[in-house]
Amino acid sequence: MTCLEAQSNIMTFIDRKLPDDKAEDFVNHMMHCKSCREELEIYYTLIVGMRKLDGGEELPKSFKTELDADLKRAIGRVRKVKRFKVSTFGVFFVAAIIGLIFYYGNILTRVYDHEQFLIKEAQGPSYFFDFFGENIDLCDTDFIEDAKKVPPPVEITNYERIHKYVLKHPRPVTEEQTTTEEEAHE
C-alpha cells in the first residue's frame, strides 16, 4: 500500500468502514510509515475528538491509546476471518481426503469382487453356489459307483412271464362260465 492509498483510507478507518482486504495493509503501513502515522494521529484526534464533543462524551485521556486500540481491532477482525477461512479450508480438505479414501476403498472392493467373479466363472458352475444358493442343483452322486451296485437283470422264461401276467390279471368270471360249471357239477 502506497502512502497515498494509506492516507486516502484514513477517513474510512476512522469511520470503522475499512474493508477487510484493506485493513491489514493499512495497519501495517501505519505501523511502519512515520509520516502517514502522524497524519492518521492528527485526523484521528481531530475527528474523534469533535464527534465526542458533539455527542456530549468525555474526551479520552490519550487519543494515542484509543487509536492503537482501533488499529488492533481492525487487524484482529481480519485475523479472525483469516483463521476461520483457514479452518474452513482445513475441514473441507480433511473431508475431501476422507471422501477419497472411501472412494478408493470402494473401488478396491469392486475390483476385488470382479476378480473373484472372474475366478469363479473360470472354475465352473459348481463354484457359483454362493451366488445361486439352493437354486443350483449340486449333485454329489457317483454314477459309476452306483452303476456297479445295480444287480444284473434276472433271466426269466416265457412261461414265468405269462404266469406273472395271469396272476396280475385274473380272468373275469362270466355268467356263462358259472352256469356251465354248475351243469358240469350235476
Residue 138's alpha-carbon distances to 57, 98, 105, 124, 127, in angstroms, are 98, 44, 35, 12, 10
The footprint of Zn ion on residues 125-154 (CB under 5 A) is: none
Closest CA to 73 of 2, 16, 127: 16
Give min distance, CB of 70 to Zn ion, in A: 18
Residue 41 near residue 67, CB atoms below 8 Å: yes
The one-character DSSP state at 167 is H
Please pick, from the candidates 1, 18, 36, 74, the single residue that binds Zn ion as defined by CB under 5 A: 36
Distance CA(178)–CA(186), nearest Å, equals 13
Does 3 bind Zn ion (CB under 5 A)? Our answer is yes
Which one, 64 or 114, has the nearer CB to Zn ion? 64
Give min distance, CB of 39 to Zn ion, in A: 8
Residue 71 near residue 27, CB atoms below 8 Å: yes
Residue 18 near residue 12, CB atoms below 8 Å: yes
Number of residues that bind Zn ion (CB under 5 A): 3
CA angle 91, 88, 95 (to 5 degrees): 20
Which one, 3 or 111, has the nearer CB to Zn ion? 3
Give min distance, CB of 1 to Zn ion, in A: 8
Question: Which of 35-43, 80-88, 89-97, 129-137 is the region at the interface with Zn ion (rule: CB under 5 A)?
Answer: 35-43
Which one, 31 or 59, has the nearer CB to Zn ion? 31
Distance CA(165)–CA(162), nearest Å, equals 5
The footprint of Zn ion on residues 4-33 (CB under 5 A) is: 33
Does 47 bind Zn ion (CB under 5 A)? Our answer is no
Give min distance, CB of 29 to Zn ion, in A: 6
- Under the rule (CB under 5 A), what is the footprint of Zn ion? 3, 33, 36
